[in-house]
Amino acid sequence: MFSAPLVLLGLLALPGLYFLLRLTPPAARRVRFPPLALLRGLATVERTPARMPLWLLLLRLLIAALVIVGLAGPQLHPPPALPGRGPVLLVIDNGWASAGDWAARRDAALQVVASAEQAKRGVSVLATARDASNATPRVQGVMPAVQAAQMLAAMVPEPWPVDRAGAARALRGATGDVVYLADGITDGPGFGAFMTALHPSRILSDGVVATLLAAPRLLANGELAVHLAAGGRSGRVLAETATGDVLANAAFADDEAHLALPVAVRNAVVRLVLTGPASVGGTLLLDNTARGGMVGLLAGAGNAEAPFLGSLYYVRRAVPLGSETMTGDVAALLAAKVNVIIAADAPFNDTQIQALRGFINRGGVLIRFAGPLTADAPDSLAPDVLLAGDRRLGGALTWSAPQSLAPFAAASPFAGLPADTGVSVSRQILADPTQLSPGTVWASLHDGTPLVLGRQMGAGYLVSVLTSANAAWSNLALSGLYPAMLGRLVQLAQGAPPKPDAPLPLAQALNGSGGLETAAGTASVTARELPDLMVSPEHPPGLYGGGAAMLALNMGGHVPPVVAAALPGAVAFDGAAEPLPFGPWLLAAAVVMLAVDLIISLLLRGLLRLRGAVVVALLLLVGAGHANAQDAALGTTLGYVLTGDAATDQITADGMSYLSALVSAHTSAQLGAPVGLTPGVDDISLYPMIYWPVLPGSAAPSAAACEALVSYMQHGGLLVIDTPGGDAGAAGSGAGFAPGAADAVQRDTACLNLPQLQPLTTDNVLAHCFYIVLDFPGRFVGAPVLIANEAARDADGVSPVIMAQNDWVGAWARDNAGNPEQTPLPDGDDQRILADRFGTNLVIYALTGSYKADQASLPALLNKLSAP
């Protein structure tokens, strides 16, 4: 078929062109004119001029034919999408696995409907997933194509698996030639029976496009690990806040990505999203089980960290994964804004008690373990009145034996935990039995003696564990129950956890594209049944419950494993209806033949020798190579050091590209596209500024790289050394985002012989060489920015190196659509604007040096001039 068939009428002119070319003699060949004597004896009989050679004539006719046919738009069509002649039954998978290619799936379905309309055939539609009302799939009877198109346009992927058994039942008695748009997966054991009942005449599928993230895990180092159960291996996982801001991202390695986030930042993440087409399988909602807290530890006296004997030795190891710990006195812990304070046999004075009561009322959790110091003089900071002294069980001087734990009550935060019969308590503090309040006993011994007391105070909780935090008074600290109980208590900082059998109503539901919507149904789950629940219209994925009792039901672990289906003869969606045009190839062939014709004509006329013809042909075929160094020499270009980490290199490239465009748009400098460099391999001498992102755990630079960087700095280059955050406890908002960053910088720069550095201040020309900036933020702010001291700068007063841990490229980076890729902390877009301004100053500083340094002395000069 042809897109412009009328152009083919030009073929009618080919016979006329044949005779025209046949009658037209070839151009005269140039020869040296011989002497007149050679003309003697020449015959005067008139001869017919030589005609064009037949092969050349055919070549030119072929060129003309190719041009005409190519301009007519020839197209190669695939086999027809509509077999048969009767009604068409369109079966479309619209479960969660179809969200990744839903646009292509719907377009293919609409093309099938359009073809049916042209053939004047009716259409019936069967969607294989149940709808939100849990209605089983059914065939929507034969309808006009226009009505079918409207139905398909309104159809969306559902956030649960398809119902193959229900769809197979719906196919009984259905008529029409079946066109099946498959999602490429089996979805359980019923796939074979479904395909037998379906008996498709044609299958359209892009294969397995489903993406599925498994439930996240908190690692011992505090990182959040995300496993990719299916698809999307080239993508990245984004950590998003409730407003959609991206706080961090990570690439997948061996199907797993690790997000290193400080606790405060991780607690602000509400969902993890896989880059690429939006889908419910590529979205993970986070509840309080994925969040942690800042846990402060303090002890009364002695070496609290002594192995096996210290009062905090077992506590530190039992703190839940994902929580950060710090030690200190009451004032230091409150100043650090911890969520939980665990006090091991620590008595408090009246001032400390007052401060701790305020901490609890504001939402904090105080967990107090007993011991000799608190047993002798109990204070008023307890859920109930405690008696002085302690109770001893077992031993040579007592008749009683150590007591084991009783089962936990349903109202206790420990409900659902198995009572470890191996736990025995030999010594404890006693609560006054005459003044016990209802509901304050959270754990007790088999004889009914309270072991753990707890009470809500304001927005927080006060907990007293009436035995020691180590193994001195009981073996609780040696049991597996100890970290489980401590985890429940630490979780109170996020609010009271849900009861195991309490119904949790659906608060927000995920749609098929991974977006949150207000729940419209009456679905509910319990904490006990949620781990084994499969998503369905009765239990859609989303958030159940409210407040601290909110739990997330995601797709990962709650749908059947993704297994590719055998679909013989399947055609891709984009190949089902789109014709393959080959007119451009015909036109290209005509151009090549025209070039050959030109060369032959020049040869026949003697204007080109054979050797020259070969040279011309080779010049047309061979092009010049591309060299980054040539671009840098001919224009102004920024560079950045390639780290070998694909994610970091992409972020750096995006950030440097945006900075180059920003500088070109707002200053007279016109920068080319930035270039990734490998020092020691590439020539780096032509770049005015090179950005070097140093990663924790990366390999140290080679000797050649060190030599190249040293030479670069010595000859006027500006090397900007930055990291994607800092160590835990480092200065600035990036603390904890890049553990090991300080050691990595020290290791990688050891061979550079860096000059003595000093903090960058607003007095430096870098702070006002274009914009006047009072701070130097990137994605993070607050870490010191270091610059060479005055003695180590060049003749123009320019530092050869600038060093920080503010992740400047993270704030500069934009995607192809111009959207920011990462969110600056803590001030978001306002901080990004300041980072852009500082980046502009960096480039101007690298290009112009200190020509604006006199601005620093301008106020003093004006004052001197105005003086009488």
Q: In the prediction, which pLDDT does 855 show? A: 54
pLDDT digits 0-9 by tens, 157-179: 999 999 999 999 999 888 888 99
Asked whether the beta carbons of 837 and 660 are under 8 A apart, the reply is no
> Span 303-314, mean pLDDT?
89
- How far the first Cα of the chain sits from its last, in Å, is 93
Is the pLDDT higher at 293 or at 659?
659
How far is it, in rounded angstroms, from Cα 108 to Cα 204?
Answer: 8
Residue 742: inside a domain: yes
pTM for the structure as a whole:
0.70
Residue 863: inside a domain: no
Q: Are residues 618 and 728 in the same domain?
A: no
Residue 34: inside a domain: no
Eight-class DSSP state of 547: G
pLDDT digits 0-9 by tens, 502-516: 899 999 999 999 999
Q: Are residues 181 and 234 in the same domain?
A: no
Q: Are residues 123 and 183 in the same domain?
A: yes
Asked whether the beta carbons of 410 and 421 are under 8 A apart, the reply is no
Q: In the prediction, which pLDDT does 208 show? A: 83
Q: Are residues 269 and 303 in the same domain?
A: no
Instruction: Judge whether residue 621 has pLDDT over 70.
Output: no
Q: In the prediction, which pLDDT does 259 show? A: 86
pLDDT digits 0-9 by tens, 112-137: 898 888 888 889 999 999 999 999 99
Q: In the prediction, which pLDDT does 438 show? A: 84
Q: In the prediction, which pLDDT does 23 show? A: 60
Is the pLDDT higher at 3 or at 727?
727
Q: In the prediction, which pLDDT does 408 show? A: 92
Task: Assign 620 a pLDDT band (cuts: 50, 70, 90).
Answer: low
Read off the CATH number of the domain in which 370 is found: 3.40.50.880
Is the pLDDT higher at 234 or at 561?
561
Please confirm whether the linkage preceding 826 is cis (ω < 30° from 0). yes
Q: Are residues 689 and 814 in the same domain?
A: yes
Q: In the prediction, which pLDDT does 793 show? A: 72
What 3-state DSSP class applies to 58? helix
Q: Are residues 274 and 307 in the same domain?
A: no
Residue 866: inside a domain: no
Is the pLDDT higher at 148 or at 499?
148
> Span 266-270, mean pLDDT?
87
Cα dihedral sign, 60-62-68-71? negative
Other Cβ atoms less than 10 A from the Cβ of 31: the count is 7
Distances (CA, A) of 796 to 200, 691, 761, 843: 77, 21, 18, 16
Asked whether the beta carbons of 152 and 106 are under 8 A apart, the reply is yes
Range of the domain at 765: 629-856
Residue (of 340, 297, 319, 103) closest to 206 by Cα position = 103
User: DSSP for 563-600?
Assistant: -B---TT-B-GGGTS--EE-HHHHHHHHHHHHHHHHHH
Q: Are residues 310 and 440 in the same domain?
A: yes
Q: In the prediction, which pLDDT does 268 show? A: 86
Q: Find the angle CA(832)-CA(834)-CA(836) to the nearest 5 degrees.
A: 70
Q: In the prediction, which pLDDT does 649 show? A: 92
Other Cβ atoms less than 10 A from the Cβ of 761: the count is 11
How far is it, in rounded angstroms, from Cα 141 to Cα 138?
Answer: 9
Residue 530: inside a domain: yes
How far is it, in rounded angstroms, from Cα 758 to Cα 793?
Answer: 12
Q: Are residues 171 and 318 in the same domain?
A: no
Instruction: Judge whether residue 93 has pLDDT over 80.
Output: yes
Eight-class DSSP state of 2: B
Asked whether the beta carbons of 529 and 548 are under 8 A apart, the reply is no
Q: Find the angle CA(81)-CA(200)-CA(192) to the nearest 5 degrees.
A: 145
Read off the CATH number of the domain in which 670 is found: 3.40.50.12140
Asked whether the beta carbons of 721 and 694 are under 8 A apart, the reply is yes
Residue 816: inside a domain: yes
Q: Are residues 697 and 781 in the same domain?
A: yes
Q: In the prediction, which pLDDT does 314 show? A: 93
Q: In the prediction, which pLDDT does 625 show? A: 46
Read off the CATH number of the domain in which 143 is found: 3.40.50.410
Is the pLDDT higher at 419 or at 49?
419
Q: Are residues 240 and 375 in the same domain?
A: no
Q: Are residues 392 and 486 in the same domain?
A: yes
> Span 801-828, mean pLDDT?
91
Residue 677: inside a domain: yes
As for how many domains the chain has, the answer is: 6
Q: Are residues 452 and 531 in the same domain?
A: no
Q: What percent of the chain has pLDDT over 70?
A: 86
Residue (of 410, 442, 406) closest to 424 by Cα position = 406
